[in-house]
């Protein structure tokens, strides 16, 4: 009977983009709301600034993720194209190269040659992509997926402090937004750790610490340089 194991590695692509988007949405929007509020601005100005942050941030995240991951995909495709040419023109050299990789991983010379021969007969490019270049379908760059995940999660994250700012009276706005943002960040860290199979405590402390630092600095700048609107 085949033993099935459940791993989390296949989630790294979308999980990284989703966590980055949601974290940035919460932190940047909450920080902006606190910074504007610290200047003495009215509720309308605070909400307008928050909504602008949501829209601009979501579009920026989508564009940034798409461009950066597309660059990664271009590099991967260029490496695969080069490997394809080398396999066509120098199959013996490529076989020796793959054999050397397996020897370095602990196989004896004869077994390494047999493994390289069988894998290249089955899927030469796939074998070299995986074992020489470190590429796989699971971890391959997916620009559109990363862009959509970042934009959607940024907007979802940014909406949370905006809703709190909309519902709270002016005298409770700063403490309410700051406290709720830290709660949301802690929850995000715990959920991300659970999805990725890592330590929930470490992830929670990490995201709340940096979120608190960002909000504190932004509110401080607003209070120091702001003027009542």
Q: Which of 132, 30, 41, 117 is nearest to 79 (CA)?
A: 132
Q: Would you write out the chain's pLDDT as a tens digit for each of its 229 residues?
A: 444 445 444 445 556 667 778 888 999 899 888 888 888 888 888 889 889 989 999 998 889 888 988 888 888 889 889 988 988 898 899 899 889 989 988 888 899 899 889 988 888 888 888 888 877 766 666 788 878 888 898 999 999 999 998 888 888 888 899 899 999 888 888 887 777 677 788 888 888 898 888 888 888 887 777 654 3
- Which residues, other chains included, contact 219 with Cβ-Cβ below 8 Å and sequence gap of 6+? 31, 34, 35, 37, 38, 174, 178
């Amino acid at each position: 009977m085949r033993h099935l194991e459940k791993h989390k590695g296949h989630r790294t692509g979308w999980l990284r983009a989703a966590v980055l988007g949601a974290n940035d949405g919460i932190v940047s929007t909450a920080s902006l709301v606190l910074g504007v509020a610290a200047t003495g601005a009215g509720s309308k100005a605070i909400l307008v600034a928050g909504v602008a942050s949501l829209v601009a941030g979501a579009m920026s995240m989508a564009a940034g993720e798409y461009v950066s991951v597309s660059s990664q995909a271009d590099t991967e495709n260029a490496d695969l194209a080069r490997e394809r040419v080398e396999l066509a023109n120098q199959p013996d050299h490529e076989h020796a190269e793959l054999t050397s990789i397996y020897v370095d991983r602990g196989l004896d010379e004869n077994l390494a040659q047999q493994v390289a021969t069988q894998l290249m007969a089955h899927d030469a490019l796939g074998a070299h992509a995986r074992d020489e270049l470190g590429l796989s379908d699971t971890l391959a760059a997916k620009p559109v997926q990363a862009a959509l995940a970042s934009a959607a999660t940024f907007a979802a994250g940014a909406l949370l402090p905006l809703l709190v700012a909309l519902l709270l009276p002016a005298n409770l706005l700063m403490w309410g937004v700051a406290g709720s943002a830290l709660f949301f960040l802690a929850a995000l860290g715990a959920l991300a750790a659970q999805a990725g199979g890592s330590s929930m405590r470490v992830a929670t402390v990490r995201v709340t610490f940096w979120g608190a630092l960002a909000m504190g600095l932004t509110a401080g700048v607003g209070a120091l340089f702001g003027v009542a609107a």
